[in-house]
Amino acid sequence: MDKNTTPLALLAHYERREAEIARLKDQLRVDGALCIQGDGIANNALLKALLTPNGQAPRTLWERVLFCAKYLLGRYDRGIWRLTLDTKLLSETSKKSSNDYTLWVQQYDQKDSGYLKRLLKQATTFTCTPKLSIVMPTYNPDPVFFRKALDSVLAQTYGNWELCICNDCSTRPEADEIVQEYLAQDERIRYVKLEKNAGISGATNGAIGIATGDWVCFLDHDDELTQDALHWVVDTINQRPQARLIYSDEDKIDDQGNRFEPYFKCEFNYELMLAQNMVCHFTAVQKTLLDQVGPLRSDFDGSQDYDLTLRLVEGLRMDEIAHVPRILYHWRACEGSTALSIDNKNYALDAARRAVSEHLARVGLPGEVVPGIIPHYNRVKFQLPDPPPLVSIVIPTRDKPELIALCLKTVLEKTTYPNFEIVVVDNGSVDPQVKALYQELSSDKLRIVDASIPFNFSRLVNMGVAASRGDIVLLLNNDIEILDGNWMHELVSHAAHEGVGAVGAKLLYPDGRAQHNGVIVGIGGVAGHSHKFFPGDAPGYFGRAQLHQELSAVTGACLAIKRSAWNAVEGFDEQLGIAFNDVDFCLRVQAAGYRNVWTPHAVLKHHESASRGLEDNPAKQARFASEVQYMFARWGNKMAADRNYSPNLSLVHEDFSLAWPPRVG
């Protein structure tokens, strides 16, 4: 490889760091490997940070490229960190480090003739070709947008559809005139006009009433379907014949047809659904299921689709809800539309919270629905079991008296939860201040387990849990500081639910930035923290830094779980003595059929790595590398397909930015 064509050279002009890049280039071998050893690492602050797994991710463009190289392409080779710098991949990574959706659409979401031909060919392999009824309520539509909506249906590559339009007694003649024009063009269009205005729910029900298809799909009169929307719905029906409810990703479209603000969703996420209508557009429902659940309810106008979806999922297994990870729907963003701001329709917020509240009552989950941290989303304040179960807080520690003192004292002084014990697993502390602290805090609530063994975090945790008595196990790092007295109440109120496994908290760095908003499996190779380094109060991607939700994993720095679920997977894997033991544990909990949950309403301060320090020497790094290999051997490709994340979002960055390219076939 010519050094002059390496990514380091290509990136020099971006931020004019020629001198630094030149020094790095001197250590770049002709085969593209960057080998830094001994003083070469110690004397380069950037590379030292890059070689530190727990180090803060660099933020400048060329630093991010090296960071990507480390996590995506690196491996250990006889104690040397070897970064294989692939010119094409890393130059592409640098170019795509922005979050430019227009560019992303140009590169990965073009419906050119070749793509459409491939769809038509694929459609010939469908063994099931159901009739799809697209229901469209309309009332005094904008003629231009109405035509665009109708044209988007006529342009579908999949042909077995009908469009069922219900005119909600429009006071202007354009709607009727336009529909009559389209009726003459295509016999698949059906039309009914109400004699009295019935509102959005009534008009939608009117359209459903004339539907004759196997599935019902919902389209607003000013929105647009992508040309392949129905194709991918039918493809999903063929790939997952058990599916009864299908939804897709969506974006917004302005008056000029510009696309923006894509919502790349995850698989169905119950706790997130309680916080926001994550299904929304584009939705397809099996007609027999819709008939069973009943019509849309006008009492919930403004959030009638939210209410309907909650009622639909109540009778479904998770494998009967399917997500299409593609943009199939363009939501019109115009003045007064909820696509721009839900604040334009405050009545919709009230209807949404009533919909969730009634849903919880129907399924027997006592809880109060209140505005969330982001007011136009929801928070459910679940009730604790009565009586509150005993919680066993398990804290592994060694020395560091200032840390363990802060942790224990803030737990004991601030926690309002009435029924807990603390089990400190002491890994051979020799500092006399620690012994004095144990004496000072001695009480019925605090027990010390002597664990004078070689350090193995998983073994220490397992020893502590074995010595505990509670129905709820709560793992807590010794560098955690309690900020709010309600923290344990929040964690237990989720963990006590049937079907819920591990529950994690929001952890902040001492400076207020987010350290943990849950774990996304696959980021950086194994796992990364959602919205890491964001301001603690930042909403994140569609609110996901501030909404309770299912996630595939949460950090073991603060993790609550029912003892029955803990026992079901036999605790932490002691082969993972240092890293990823919490991620592996959560994945096993998930594989056992539980949902892992993260809540932003339990907030703690995390003095991360203050107790053990960083992975900053060859022995620690080699051990870390072996545990990376162990994770890949156990979980393989599952680490690149987190069901609570989108294949259209990055596995390089932790900020929910776009994937370049997406991982969708």
pLDDT digits (tens, 9 = 90+) for 91-132: 444 445 568 999 999 999 999 999 999 999 999 999 999 999
Residue 626: per-residue pLDDT: 85
Q: Select the CATH number that applies to the domain covering 391-640 from these four: 1.10.645.10, 3.90.550.60, 3.40.50.720, 3.30.390.10.
A: 3.90.550.60
The span from the first CA to the last CA of the chain, in angstroms, equals: 31
Judged against a pLDDT cut of 70, whether residue 85 lies above it is answered with no
Residue 16: per-residue pLDDT: 38
d(CA 592, CA 401): 38
CATH 3.90.550.60 domain extents, the chain:
391-640
d(CA 611, CA 426): 13
Lookup: tokens for 437 = 């602290």
Residues 265 and 247: beta-carbon distance below 8 Å: yes
Q: Per-residue pLDDT averaged across 42-68, rounded?
A: 42
Give just the sign of the alpha carbon dihedral 144, 149, 154, 157: positive
Listed in order, strand segments (DSSP E) in 44-201 are 75-77, 80-84, 132-138, 161-167, 189-193
d(CA 663, CA 399): 45
Residue 341: per-residue pLDDT: 58
CATH 3.90.550.10 domain extents, the chain:
113-341
Residue 10: per-residue pLDDT: 33
Lowest mean pLDDT among 95-109, 369-383, 572-586: 95-109
Judged against a pLDDT cut of 70, whether residue 47 lies above it is answered with no
Judged against a pLDDT cut of 80, whether residue 83 lies above it is answered with no
| Domain spanning 113-341, CATH architecture | Alpha-Beta Complex (3.90)
Q: How confident is the model at residue 75 (pLDDT cuts 50, 70, 90)?
A: very low
Residue 624: per-residue pLDDT: 80
Lowest mean pLDDT among 147-161, 334-348, 454-468, 500-514: 334-348
Using DSSP, state whether 177 is helix, strand or coil: helix
Residue 479: per-residue pLDDT: 96
Q: How confident is the model at residue 563 (pLDDT cuts 50, 70, 90)?
A: very high
d(CA 571, CA 569): 6
Residue 327: per-residue pLDDT: 99
Residue 50: per-residue pLDDT: 42
Q: How confident is the model at residue 42 (pLDDT cuts 50, 70, 90)?
A: very low
Residue 397: per-residue pLDDT: 98
Q: Per-residue pLDDT averaged across 520-547, rounded?
A: 95
d(CA 557, CA 606): 8
Q: What is the DSSP string of 38-77?
A: THHHHT-HHHHHHT-TTSPPP-SHHHHHHHHHHHHH-EEE
Q: Give the list of residues 6+ apart from residue 467 with CB closer than 8 angstroms, or none.
A: 423, 425, 447, 449
Residues 422 and 475: beta-carbon distance below 8 Å: no
Tens of pLDDT along 222-270? 999 999 999 999 999 999 999 999 999 999 999 999 999 999 999 999 9
Report which of 300, 269, 327 is spatially closest to residue 549, judged by C-alpha positions.
269
d(CA 548, CA 266): 14
| Residues in a beta bridge with 604 | 482, 507
Judged against a pLDDT cut of 60, whether residue 12 lies above it is answered with no
Tell me the H-state helices in 257-367: 270-275, 287-293, 304-313, 346-363
Lowest mean pLDDT among 13-17, 296-300, 430-434, 567-571: 13-17
Lookup: tokens for 580 = 């990823």
